[in-house]
Amino acid sequence: MGDYGRPLEFGYFLVPNTGDPLLETARLADRLGLDLIGIQDHPYQRGYVDTWTLLSMVAAVTERVRVFPDVASLPLRQPAVLAKAAASLDVLSGGRAELGLGAGAFWEAIGAFGGPRRTPGEAMGALEEAVEIIRQVWSGGRGLRFDGEHYTLSGANAGPVPAHDIGIWLGVKGPRGLALAGRAADGWVPSSSWATPEVLAESHARIDEAAAAAGRDPAAIRRIYNVNGAITDGESRGFLHGPPDQWVEELTDLAVGHGMDAFVLWPEGDQHKQLERFATEVVPAVRDQVRHEREG
């Protein structure tokens, strides 16, 4: 583990609060040149708009930024239909959709919305089946079949085929989830709130071991980090809570020392001000510093 050498990407974590200027914020992220907009998926939150509806609207009002659920709640998103939704959004947006996918959380709330209440083992088994089903559906094949414990395909006819190779990025932790990411996914998308820098090395090692055992190059797996914090003008208040130069130092270290290659800002405070400062004061400097350290 260390620097996997992948090109850096930067994004914004758009919380789907009903009363917020969501499309205005998305357009700002696009104008500022960010690469990604991620949107959390909690359908049972009464104060949130639906994630897939918002993703579609964001893609419609932007020009270049890529969009993804960060991460989709699999227990409330049937995988074959989820695959069709992602492929459709990719086609309609000109290849600007990715797929973050999670096994599920907040099981009481999921159950209240009619979803299954799974044990941790069942949730991981369903996630593994879903990845296989999604890839089958994206093939555009006819007569697709899959007979799993949680999901089936019984002669399904798939389409449309995505406009580009959509990445499946898993929001997982624990040995089984990380091994699945290494064996079958295109990326890992943790959050700094629960995957602190201190645990990244062990997590990468589990992903890399599983990737190598499956004959895959570990460096082919993206490592997307949702980073929660605040850019300030004062003294540091801890990890990712301080002035721009602190952010530049810490994100550079996360890239070249801790293996992360994409950073999705989940800011505290004034969202537009934080977004602008991130894009103008932090992102260019991190790109320059990482390039300098890689070349040096």
pLDDT, averaged across the chain: 97
| Per-residue 3-state assignment (H helix, E strand, C coil) for 61-78 | HCCCCEEEECCEEHHHCC
Percent of the chain with pLDDT strictly greater than 70: 100
pLDDT at 2: 86
Q: Any idea which residue has 């620097």 for tokens?
A: 3
Cα–Cα distance list, 252 to 5, 31, 285, 289 (Å): 12, 24, 9, 7
Q: What is the mean pLDDT of residues 118-129?
A: 98
Instruction: Kindly compute the dihedral angle of the four CA atoms of residues 200, 203, 207, 208, in this order, to the nearest 10 degrees.
Output: 60
pLDDT at 270: 96
What is the helix (H) or strand (E) element at residue 241, kind and residue range? strand 241-242
Global pTM value: 0.97
CA–CA separation, 174 and 4 (whole Å): 21
Banded model confidence at residue 169, pLDDT cuts 50, 70, 90: very high
H-only helix segments in 93-119: 107-112
Percent of the chain with pLDDT strictly greater than 90: 99
Query: How confident is the model over 72-99, as pLDDT tens digits?
Result: 999 999 999 999 999 999 999 999 999 9
Amino acid at 226: N
Banded model confidence at residue 227, pLDDT cuts 50, 70, 90: very high
Cα–Cα distance list, 171 to 6, 83, 93, 103 (Å): 19, 17, 24, 8
187-188 and 222-231 as β-strands: parallel, antiparallel, unpaired?
parallel
What is the helix (H) or strand (E) element at residue 46, kind and residue range? none
Question: Is the preceding peptide bond at 75 cis, omega within 30 degrees of 0?
Answer: no
pLDDT for residue 1 is more than 80? no
pLDDT at 296: 82
List, in sequence order, every residue forming a beta bridge with 101; answer none if it has no partner. Answer: 72, 170
Cα–Cα distance list, 89 to 21, 166, 188, 244 (Å): 22, 11, 21, 35
66-69 and 72-73 as β-strands: parallel, antiparallel, unpaired?
unpaired
